[in-house]
Amino acid sequence: MRLLTNMAFWQCPYWTERVDCLYDLAGAKADPAFMPFWKEAWRLFRKSRAYDAVLTMESRTSLAYGWLCSVAGRPSKQIMTEVFIDQPRPASLFWRLKTALFRWIARRGVGALVLSSAELETVSERFGLPRKKLRFIPLQCTIEQPREAPADEGFVLSAGRSLRDYGTVIRAAAGIRAPVLILCGPADDIPAGPASVTVEREATRERYMDALARCSVVALALQDTLRPTGQVVMLEAMGLGKPVVVTRHAGTVDYIRDGENGFLVEPGDAEGLARKVRMLLDDPALRRRIGRQALADVMEKYSLEAHAKARLQAISELLSAASSETT
């Protein structure tokens, strides 16, 4: 199977040795300088004839590449990934046009990879794709060497930018009785909270990883949306052996077994979030047990190589299914 992609999964040699990427990933130590989406799409289009499949990552690149193939009357060989489902906006003409174009592009392609089991239904419905053309691939932990971080300094960390519900975190903070550190983006709406809450906007990756390694508990409150979110911070916390308390959400329920490797609370439930965080802060043995099980799960199921193998297997299955339909 010859596979071309714009996905720069440079951290995983298993992937880079088996997949051709638009970017030079040999010896990469960080993400490359990315091209504009239209240039990615054009280069994928120009190279696609020599490949069995083209894995397009991100909505704009996927749409532009599929459109180019459609205009040229060429089979797209396209498998889309990380094309997230947004909230329905039927009153918006732009949203309806975009959705119709995605449906056309998706139906001409081989299939799609999704990052949550919930998306098997939402993507199928939104794009008009049969479920057999979709595969759920769990996200990987981006920490190259998962390990138990020994520091446990008694504070709670909440971090991330995408679809966070920091209002719930602020309300929960009053009942946590411990310092709460929020690392967020410049535009996140964070109401005034108790003196125990510290907010830092646009923290560096180094600052975030340092806080993650030193905290006692990670608390993630997420907006109740169709799009999965929160997996990256959640899995990085688990990859350092930190117990997590997260909103029950499309982006979390595939990974967290409530009470075994973390805790789930309902959307907007500040009291429930505070209660679970307090329980972990008050019980060091429980923190260690939950954190160590989370780390074991990352090492077994969510490592870089495990993710790469699952992704390549899913692509092979989609190609086989497409081939059997045309013969």
Q: Domain residues of the chain, as ranges?
A: 3-140+304-326, 156-301
Task: For residue 156, give both structure tokens.
Answer: 């709670």
How much of the chain, in percent, has pLDDT values that exceed 90? 81
pLDDT in tens, 222-238: 999 888 999 999 999 99
Reference 319, options 90, 125, 76, 151; nearest CA is 76
Quote the CA–CA distance of 83 and 85 in Å, as a whole number.
7
Quick one: angle between helices 270-281 and 284-301, nearest 10?
100
Residues 244-249, mean pLDDT to the nearest whole number? 96
State the burial class of residue 101 (Cβ atoms within 10 Å of its Cβ: 0-12, 13-18, 19+): middle
pLDDT in tens, 254-268: 999 999 999 999 999
Position 71 confidence tier, pLDDT thresholds 50, 70, 90: very high
Q: Radius of gyration (Cα) for the chain, nearest Å?
A: 21
Averaged confidence pLDDT in the chain: 93
Quote the CA–CA distance of 42 and 87 in Å, as a whole number.
29
Position 327 confidence tier, pLDDT thresholds 50, 70, 90: low
How much of the chain, in percent, has pLDDT values that exceed 70? 99
Residues 54-68, mean pLDDT to the nearest whole number? 96
- 3-140+304-326 and 156-301 have identical folds: yes
- What's the half-sphere exposure (Cβ side, CA atoms, 13 Å) at 194? 14
Quote the CA–CA distance of 143 and 146 in Å, as a whole number.
6
pLDDT in tens, 272-307: 999 999 999 999 999 999 999 999 999 999 999 999
**Predicted local confidence at residue 215, as pLDDT:** 97
pLDDT of 56 above 70: yes
CA angle 34, 35, 39 (to 5 degrees): 155
Residues 3-25, mean pLDDT to the nearest whole number? 92
pLDDT of 84 above 90: no
pLDDT in tens, 151-185: 899 999 999 988 999 999 999 999 998 999 999 99
**Predicted local confidence at residue 302, as pLDDT:** 95
Q: For 120, phi and psi rounded to 5 degrees?
A: -55, -35
pLDDT in tens, 30-53: 778 899 999 999 999 999 999 999
**Predicted local confidence at residue 251, as pLDDT:** 87
Please, what CATH class does the domain formed by 156-301 belong to? alpha beta
Quote the CA–CA distance of 291 and 147 in Å, as a whole number.
11
Position 326 confidence tier, pLDDT thresholds 50, 70, 90: low
**Predicted local confidence at residue 87, as pLDDT:** 83
**pTM (predicted TM-score):** 0.91
Residues 118-143, mean pLDDT to the nearest whole number? 93
Q: Domain 3-140+304-326 sits in which CATH superfamily?
A: Glycogen Phosphorylase B; (3.40.50.2000)
